[in-house]
Copies of this chain bind each other. A is one copy, B any other.
């Protein structure tokens, strides 16, 4: 990010802490605004500055295999757009290849790009699925985000701190073929 953006974030964080009258002499607070700005720019909201197209290369599927490929238990980190509170969980992405293949670690990278923004969980899944359809043109894709803990839900009023949220986004043949979805569920639960 550019220095101006850094400065804006830093100032906002300074003002936030100031509202609680923190002791700026305490070395545990002095550099906090700087540290938080860095964290937002480099980690928590770095998805705004990245494009999936730049990080992903697509290969021809020389073997022409139509078998199922899935990566699961991909930890992701995001911040909810309603409360700026983190929500974290796991993603599983399955696809049925057609003419193209994707390096296995790229599935996690696309998920990471959409997660590292101020988001809704439903939207991360949908954007990830749509982007894979666009870049890879597989027969179908299924994105399941599970064991997701929303801090805005767990840390506030009602007693929901064990609750977790699951969202499912399906595209292509996964939308039509319930049996295929059941297989992916079974493999995730393995």
Interface residues of A (CB under 8 A from B): 5, 8-9, 11-13, 15-20, 22, 26-29, 32, 35-36, 39-40, 42-45, 48, 59-60, 63, 65, 67-77, 81-86, 88, 90, 101, 103-105, 108-109, 112, 118, 120-123, 125-126, 144, 146-147, 150-170, 178-183, 185-190
Which residues from chain B contact A181 at a C-beta distance below 8 Å?
183
Q: Are A35 and B82 touching (Cβ within 8 A)?
A: yes
Q: Are A12 and B8 touching (Cβ within 8 A)?
A: no
Contacts A86-B151, A165-B104 given; does A160 touch B67 at CB 8 Å: no
Q: Are B170 and A105 touching (Cβ within 8 A)?
A: no
Q: Are A160 and B75 touching (Cβ within 8 A)?
A: yes
Q: Please pick, from B15, B27, B74, B188, the residue contacting A190 in the complex, using a CB distance under 8 A.
A: B188
Q: Which residue of B has the minimal Cβ distance to A97?
A: B122
Please, how many angstroms separate the alpha-carbon atoms of A47 and B163 in the complex? 20
Q: Please pick, from B45, B146, B163, the residue contacting A187 in the complex, using a CB distance under 8 A.
A: B146
7 extra interface residue pairs, beta carbon distance < 8 Å, beyond A8-B16, A39-B152: A28-B81, A32-B81, A67-B170, A68-B166, A104-B150, A161-B162, A178-B179
16 CB < 8 A contacts A-B: A11-B15, A28-B81, A39-B83, A63-B123, A68-B167, A70-B165, A72-B166, A75-B160, A76-B159, A77-B159, A90-B162, A104-B153, A161-B161, A166-B187, A166-B190, A181-B183
